[in-house]
């Protein structure tokens, strides 16, 4: 089974630096997407961190009917494509139904399977058959070991370009907790493993119907993940989280990203 290098021209070497998936939760518009991408590209180029721009073209899993879901599929996907062409970085976006895979694959480099859908066989097969890199988020309700079967479904469908992302485990009704033993366990499957530093700090099922979060702990989650050998980090970031259209409660303010990444690079260097 192949690992990450060469899958989408990402200059990532296992055992050297970690890679970063970062961007807004959802694509809100072209201007803000390009602004966020430009800032992160500037930072990651300086720190020599391989970078993948993240943005969901649609948010299907919302607590309330009136929650923001997107600006239109094709419009958002074309913005992802423009980010790629403007800055030369790969992009990652979620898919939710099997028939979305081919559509999203026409614009994005990495197809992401949301945590709640990681056991959906038809969805995993459809993503695999696009030939794109498939990033599967570990379900909050699953052990790390059980994610081997998600990897197997994709590989047995003819695609060995797989990433696994941990985003915490359900801890009661309204909280999540991270079990860092899962990172080395999932890496043993021969695939790169990412820590989702923002969604793992969500506080779901709040009484108001809007998910809460603890963004002050993003640095803690990220440091621990790098220390135990995570290949990459997933961080949702925005220049104004309080007014982000989706998941603002657990996002990192964009102005704080560079300082955090500098610290994480030092940890990476220290453990090599």
Confidence category of residue 256, pLDDT binned at 50, 70, 90: very high
Judge whether residue 117 has pLDDT over 80: yes
The model's pLDDT over 179-189, given as tens digits with 9 standing for 90+, comes to 999 999 999 99
This model's pTM is above 0.95: no
Q: Structural domain tally of the chain?
A: 1
Domain for residue 14, yes or no?
A: no
CATH of the domain at 192: 3.20.20.70
The model's pLDDT over 49-104, given as tens digits with 9 standing for 90+, comes to 999 999 999 876 645 545 656 799 999 999 999 999 999 999 999 999 999 999 99
Domain for residue 130, yes or no?
A: yes
Domain for residue 5, yes or no?
A: no
Q: Which domain holds residue 132?
A: 19-271
Domain for residue 176, yes or no?
A: yes
Query: Which pLDDT does position 266 carry in this prediction?
Result: 97
Confidence category of residue 175, pLDDT binned at 50, 70, 90: confident
Query: Which pLDDT does position 172 carry in this prediction?
Result: 85
Domain for residue 137, yes or no?
A: yes
Which of 97-131 are b and which e, b meaning 16 or more Cβ less than 10 Å from the residue's Cβ?
A: ebebbebbbebbbbbbbbbebbbbeebbbbbbbbe
Domain for residue 10, yes or no?
A: no
Domain for residue 9, yes or no?
A: no
Domain for residue 38, yes or no?
A: yes
The model's pLDDT over 18-27, given as tens digits with 9 standing for 90+, comes to 999 999 999 9
């Amino acid at each position: 089974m192949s690992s990450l290098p060469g899958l989408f021209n990402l200059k990532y070497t296992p055992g050297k630096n970690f890679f970063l998936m970062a961007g807004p939760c959802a694509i809100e518009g072209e201007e803000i997407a390009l602004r966020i991408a430009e800032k992160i590209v500037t930072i990651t180029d300086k720190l020599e961190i391989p970078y993948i721009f993240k943005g969901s073209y649609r948010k299907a899993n919302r607590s309330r009917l009136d929650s923001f879901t997107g600006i239109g599929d094709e419009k958002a996907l074309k913005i992802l494509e423009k980010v790629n062409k403007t800055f030369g970085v790969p992009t990652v976006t979620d898919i939710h139904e099997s028939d979305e895979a081919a559509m999203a694959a026409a614009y994005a480099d990495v197809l992401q399977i949301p945590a709640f859908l990681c056991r959906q066989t038809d969805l995993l097969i459809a993503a695999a058959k696009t030939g794109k890199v498939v990033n599967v988020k570990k379900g909050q309700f699953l052990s790390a070991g059980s994610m081997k079967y998600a990897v197997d479904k994709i590989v047995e469908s003819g695609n060995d370009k797989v990433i696994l992302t941990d985003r915490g485990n359900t801890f009661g009704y309204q909280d999540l907790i991270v079990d860092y033993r899962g990172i080395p366990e999932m890496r043993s499957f021969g695939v790169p493993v990412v820590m989702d530093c923002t969604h793992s700090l969500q506080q779901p099922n709040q009484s108001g119907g809007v998910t809460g979060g603890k963004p002050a702990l993003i640095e803690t989650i990220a440091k621990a993940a790098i220390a135990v050998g995570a290949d990459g980090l997933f961080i949702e970031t925005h220049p104004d989280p309080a007014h982000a259209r989706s998941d603002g409660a657990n996002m990192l303010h964009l102005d704080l990203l560079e300082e955090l990444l500098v610290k994480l690079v030092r940890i990476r260097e220290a453990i090599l």
